[in-house]
Amino acid sequence: MTSDNREENLAQEIPVVEVIPLKGWRKALAERMLSSHLTHAEVTQMREVDATGLINLRQSLLTRLEEKYGIRLSYTHLLMKAAAKALEQHPIVNSSLVDEEIRIFGEVNIAMTVALDNGGLLAPVIRRADRKSIVEVAREAIKLTEQVRSRRFNLDVMQGGTFTVSNAGMYGTDFVTPLINAPQSAALGVGRLVPKPVVRENQIVIRTMMGLSLTYDHRVLTGATAAQFFQTLENIIENPKQMDLGI
């Protein structure tokens, strides 16, 4: 008996308590993810960044923005602005490989992943995130998240993304390796915030660290180019006053 036959017989002996058909959004998501995996030369770089400055910035803005604009500023909102700023400095990351051409986009449109109650995953797009204030980005992100989760949205809100931010930190994940959201060339995975001892100026201090993962298409970006973008993004997160928040 072959190994495949043994596994098939074993599977038939184990009771099945539920069968979930792979159809509808599950089938569409599965096909899209498999297509992305098979059509991109995916590579992932990871690094821990010091998010203490980002935390302090959010804390300084939280009450003011909530009282003045009625929005609850999240780390995802700030990270989308940070990514948009870094993409301005490294435009080739904001691109797509079409046939034998690398096409650099003239807009920075950040897609953000939104998890649904039924296990689905959608990625509505904040268009021209680099030109919008943090208030506009946060307001639009909150609105799109509500629309997606309540199933009240037009399909065009999923179109036109040039880069994706996927925040899994809220689920306690340290690092996540996101798949590229075709036809984009890169995606950022975000892990949780964790206080850790680190060395600063030969002293051990406690800083809040964040795990980041950059998945990119190696046909478009070399490892060095991706690392340079990643370094710029890290610098912006650690020194968030570089971001033009428009407030």
Could you write out the DSSP letters of every residue in 52-71?
Answer: HHHHHHHHHHHHHHHHHH--
Strands 125-126 and 121-122: unpaired
Distance of CA 230 to the CA centre of its chain: 13
User: Which one-letter amino acid corresponds to residue 58?
Assistant: R
Instruction: Name 140's bridge partners.
Output: none
CA atoms of 22 and 25, how far apart (whole Å): 8
Counting beta carbons within 10 angstroms of the beta carbon of residue 206, is it exposed (0 to 12), middle (13 to 18) or buried (19 or more)? exposed
Half-sphere exposure of 62 (CA within 13 A, CB side): 9
**Residue 120: which residues within 8 A CB-CB, separation 6 or more?**
25, 26, 29
Instruction: Establish whether 77 is a catalytic residue.
Output: no
Under DSSP, is residue 30 helix (H, G, I), strand (E, B) or coil? helix
Q: Active-site positions?
A: 218
